[in-house]
Amino acid sequence: MDITMPNFNVLWLQSGGCGGCSMSLLCADTADFHGQLRDAGINLLWHPSLSLESGSELIDLLERAADGRLRVDALCIEGSLLRGPNNTGRFHVLAGTGIPMIDWVRRLAATARQVVAIGSCAAWGGITAGGSNPTDACGLQYDDDRPGGLLGASFRSGSGLPVINVAGCPTHPGWVIDSLMALAAGQFSAADLDPLNRPRFYADQLVHHGCTRNEYYEFKASAEKPSDLGCMMEHMGCKGTQVHADCNTRLWNGEGSCTRGGYACIACTEPGFQEPGHPFHETPKIAGIPIGLPTDMPKAWFVALASLSKSATPKRVKANATADHLQVAPAVRKTRLR
């Protein structure tokens, strides 16, 4: 590939979302965002916040893309698709065209080589589809965890792949950039997608991996209020042991994550996270046992392990778990460790 001539054309449109995924993208870990894309051979045809074209220039670009005169290698859609009222899509008409956004997306998806859902709104419906969902919002190829969405379960883009769900609310800039770079390099196939069509490079991880509270989790030494250092699974609603994402090994802005900021993982990469059926920061329990047990762990094991761990919790871990800063430092008992 001639890297001086970016030729992987990316078109980014915003639909029914908050724009937070674009805000997140702008925090990509690079001093030269456009340079990074250019070096990967990516040509950003248009993005609502990063491009100068507007009005008739944009409409002309979209027309050329929709009828195949302008090649679109990756159509990135941010935000959910608003089908209301009554499946007309007229709650969201693309300004200056008189045409509902969902019709633009259908036309463009039919010619694009790849279709990429940017964020959980575009993947599953997300926050916009919450509550009574008055706009009849959905994802590109899912309604929460039900295949379908705007394009239908059988949709395949020009490459033969389904919609690539770069889910997250917002999605991590690294997930977007790495996905686009792999696509541009021709190194992304169906085998790189998990069962919900998320890129495996981040979805084969759990938020729990690399969490700084792992020692508290091991001993079931739990936080009781937001500022506490302990594990947030037992009382504070943390779902990190079940949630697919690498937030604690690929940090945000180079240093943070929800759990590092004292905020429970609310499962924002998972379908239906917006309707957990309980307050986000409370752990639902039956007979004192959290309902959402760790992935891959039978309930009986968890209960046995939890009671054993609790009975063996070191004083240091127990004291620190319910404090907002270290109360007891690790003891220094041995030197010349072997």
Give the helix/strand (H/E) hosting 166.
strand 164-166
Q: Report the DSSP beta bridge partners of residue 278.
A: none
The site map against ligand SF4 for 224-243 (x = CB under 6 A) is -------xxx----x-xx--
Residue span binding ligand SF4 (CB under 6 A) among the ranges 118-126, 131-139, 147-155, 276-284: 118-126
User: Of residues 72, 82, 112, 127, which one binds ligand SF4 by CB under 6 A?
Assistant: 127
Residue span binding ligand SF4 (CB under 6 A) among the ranges 113-121, 156-164, 193-201, 279-287: 113-121
Query: Is 59 among the residues that bind ligand SF4 (CB under 6 A)?
Result: no
**In this structure, what are the phi and psi dihedrals at residue 193, rounded to the nearest 5 degrees?**
-110, 140
Residue span binding ligand SF4 (CB under 6 A) among the ranges 55-63, 115-123, 138-146, 175-183: 115-123
Kindly state the tokens that stand for 281: 């920061």
CA-CA distance, 83 to 70, in Å (whole number)?
27
CA-CA distance, 112 to 164, in Å (whole number)?
13
Least spacing, CB of residue 78 vs ligand SF4, in Å: 6
Least spacing, CB of residue 13 vs ligand SF4, in Å: 12
Within 277-336, the residues that bind ligand SF4 by CB under 6 A are none
| Residue 94 amino acid letter | L
Total number of residues that touch ligand SF4 (CB under 6 A):
27
Least spacing, CB of residue 212 vs ligand SF4, in Å: 7
Residue 227 CB contacts under 8 Å (≥ 6 apart), including other chains: 262, 324
Least spacing, CB of residue 68 vs ligand SF4, in Å: 28
Query: Is 120 among the residues that bind ligand SF4 (CB under 6 A)?
Result: yes
Kindly state the tokens that stand for 12: 């980014």
Alpha helices by DSSP H, listed for the chain, are: 20-25, 33-39, 55-66, 101-111, 119-124, 173-184, 200-203, 214-218, 299-311, 315-321
Query: Is 213 among the residues that bind ligand SF4 (CB under 6 A)?
Result: yes
Nearer to ligand SF4, 213 or 318 (CB): 213
Write down how long the chain is. 338
Query: Is 207 among the residues that bind ligand SF4 (CB under 6 A)?
Result: yes
- Please state the three-class secondary structure of 74-121 as a single string: EEEEECEEECCCCCCCCCCEECCCCEEHHHHHHHHHHHCCEEEEEHHH
Within 159-198, the residues that bind ligand SF4 by CB under 6 A are 169-170
CA-CA distance, 231 to 236, in Å (whole number)?
8
Query: Is 262 among the residues that bind ligand SF4 (CB under 6 A)?
Result: no
Residue span binding ligand SF4 (CB under 6 A) among the ranges 195-203, 209-217, 284-292, 303-311: 209-217
Binding site for ligand SF4 (CB under 6 A): 17-18, 20-21, 78-79, 119-121, 126-127, 169-170, 207-208, 211, 213-214, 217, 231-233, 238, 240-241, 259, 265
